[in-house]
Amino acid sequence: MPSPIAPDARPVLRLLPGHHRRVRTGYPWAFSNEIAMTPAARALPPGSVVRLEGDDGVAQGAWHFNPHSLIAARRLDADPDAAIDAGWCAARLAAALRLRERLFPGSAHYRLVHAEADGLPGLVIDRYGDALALQANTAGMEALTPALVEALAGLLAPRVVVARNDAGVRTLEGLPDEKRLLLGTDPVAEVEEGPLRIPVDLLAGQKTGWFFDQRENRARVAQLAPGARVLDAYCHLGGFGLRCAANGAESVTLLDRSEPALALALEAAARNGLAPRVRAERGEAFAVLERLGAAGERFDVVVCDPPAFVKSRKDHAAGLRGYGKMVRLAAPLVAPGGFLFVASCSHHVSPGEFAEQVLWGLGRAGRDSRVLFQGGAAPDHPLHPLLPESAYLKAVLLHLP
């Protein structure tokens, strides 16, 4: 990976004629077909910090550059001479921290950094009190990781920092998958959400350990839980189901195909005094939903929050059908007057497409419905205003009379 380069020695790249307008408005990406990819540009190491200029020579800031990626340049700073070092990282991280402290006063459990929207393109950091999970999804952030860890140590003095660099998007940057300790020795942490304290393994769990994006949706569903029978499908660590149990659900069934995830969910239920009302069922969700429906099982609240069905554009048609099938199988399990919550975290599925599949599934199940809520991720996942396509989470809460 490249070493930091002094601003006065920073490579200069030029945008092709006519391609400066979008960048000038603050758009945070420049694509490879918008940049003059000279032999010198192509020879730059992935993750280099460059000065990007329009074809008129007007500087457009400092950018991370990867000559092998479609998104070839990502904006770091409007100042083309900004020193991209630990001090710069500390300033960006401090700004992100101030926002989260306003959003979640008194809490130290949230997504601390959400990529471009926090001025740190390609970087995700989740905070679990004194433990941090860092995901560098670009060559630039991979190169900047030592400076980031130095800045985090000065800002938060964490007990442990874990690299969870196993997201599929890293392959587009030519980066390998890796999970390793960057600081400290013990990757086990605890997430606090509402009244719950849930153990998470930052090295062995999914993604960065906990899905903070559904925080507000879990609270919304839990409001409906007193006295209810609840089914939490694709439950992972049981976030929805455990919040419902903590808010007075009569019974909660956690459904997932992962035995380790279910074991952690049941451990969390025991730690929080919820074990008598929580049970786990291991299996493939479609098969179990179909079996429960055939057996005449009914629940007052059904949650379906699956992993992404559409992981790339080639999966689009099949993945969309998967969402429709999921709703078709889940809707019959909802007792009359009950509630169905469904979500999609597929980047390549638009809100409209997801809504169409939800309606198709309800229609095939013969269930009437009314929409109580449509939304997305919690506010610790801010959205860059010029990247609406990065609003990946779609969530719908329905009442089924």
Catalytic residues: 345
With contact defined as beta carbons under 8 Å apart, do 217 and 243 qualify?
no
User: Hey, what's the torsion of the CAs at 128, 131, 137, 139, to 10 degrees?
Assistant: 150
Residue 226 corresponds to which tokens in the numbers above?
A: 């007193």
Euclidean distance between CA atoms 250 and 229, whole angstroms: 6
Euclidean distance between CA atoms 136 and 148, whole angstroms: 10
With contact defined as beta carbons under 8 Å apart, do 268 and 194 qualify?
no
With contact defined as beta carbons under 8 Å apart, do 44 and 3 qualify?
no
DSSP secondary structure letters along 341-392: EEEE--TTS-HHHHHHHHHHHHHHHT---EEEEEE---TTS---TT-GGG--
With contact defined as beta carbons under 8 Å apart, do 134 and 170 qualify?
no
Euclidean distance between CA atoms 62 and 132, whole angstroms: 27
With contact defined as beta carbons under 8 Å apart, do 64 and 76 qualify?
yes
Q: What does DSSP say about strands 251-256 and 178-183: parallel, antiparallel, or unpaired?
A: unpaired
Helix or strand (DSSP H, E) at 336: strand 334-344
The residue ranges of DSSP E strands in 202-310, in sequence order, are: 229-233, 251-256, 278-282, 299-304
Residue 395 corresponds to which tokens in the numbers above?
A: 């969530």
Helix or strand (DSSP H, E) at 200: strand 196-201
Residue 19 makes CB contacts below 8 A (sequence gap 6+) with 30, 34, 35, 54, 55
